Structure 1
Amino acid sequence: MPKVFSALAVSVDGFISGRTPAGEPEFGRGLGDAPMLFDWYFTGDTPSREFDGFKLSAPSARVFDALAARVGASVAGRTTYEHSSGWSGGSPHPTAPLFVVSHRPVPGLGASQTLAAGIEDAVAAAREAAGAKDVALMGGGVVTAALEAGLVDELVLHQVPVLLGGGHRYFRELPRHVRLRLLEIVPADGVTHLHYEVIR
């Protein structure tokens, strides 16, 4: 059965983006000389089979491409959508449609983008669009809401060895514990890939 998962780059202290000095979206960057959370996408010698322009280390390419190949649709929250400049009317995945969760209208949605009022509706629509493939979640708020609703099957943390000290957290406050089972650890240059199954 198709699964719902999240695979995001995250600092060791749990942030998926850094603080911004002047309020501009600066996804993945911390203050001063802190490294980008996404450097590992481009600092290797193995081209991605799924994303043009990505060159990763061999271990990262194996993990990244295996996950990317699973995606049939993506779900993102309003904040992630806006900080990513709406992916210029496209999607975070080159071939998968995007469902944006927002309680307000989102101006300028692209042809491959659909607005959804809540996480349950967004995941249901994304599952239908994905067919036999999986649904990928983007953004801390969306992941937390999906965890609360019992919709998440797997979590992947691409953990980058940096403490950002602030920014947007991967996970928001949850009303209950969520138990995880570690499926795989893959160390690579500049990142460690941690793959968990959500235990229900």
Structure 2
Amino acid sequence: MTPTPSPTDRPQMCVDEFEQLAHNAPESVRLEFIKGKVGVKPVPNGNHGEIVRWLQKQCMQHVPDAWLYPEQGLKVERYRKGRARPDGVLAPEEYFLGQGEWADSEGVLMTVEVTSGDSDADVRDRLDKPDGYAAAGIPVYLLIDRDDHLVYVFSEPEGGKYRNVVNQPFGGKVELPAPVGFALDTEKLKDFAD
């Protein structure tokens, strides 16, 4: 006899229903579907946008054949049942050409999230998304935690989890492992912390 999933384990809707909901949502609302639950992603403030811009510049200098795409929808989690809109997706140039709103994550090099101060989004960024990105096989997940002034690097996805997680306070250097492959100097993040 198989156990009945608890209400918290059951998805709120199927992926097709979520995609239709997200497609019809107003432009000011950004929806995600992680672990079977619909989440509303907060609209970023100016500091959040500056962090993403700063990181784009770093990636351009160190990984010139790739681009950090902001807000690209990705199919994530086991069997691509989740939908996420990372703050940044590092992928080869033109990788998303012709893929539509929710792209396959197979060739993605790194996903990036910047915490926003919204408790629901922060829980997703810190707990749910690492598992979803690892299950999708995304090699590196970079979390810039503005609340705790820490940078987390998740790497080596295996079995739906990242085997390696390191963190560094703002101001230090953190290694972004292959396929990203450069040391990120986070001193500038002190300017964008609030």
TM-score by length of 2: 0.32
TM-score by length of 1: 0.31
Q: Which has the higher contact order (CA 8 A, sep 6+)?
A: 1
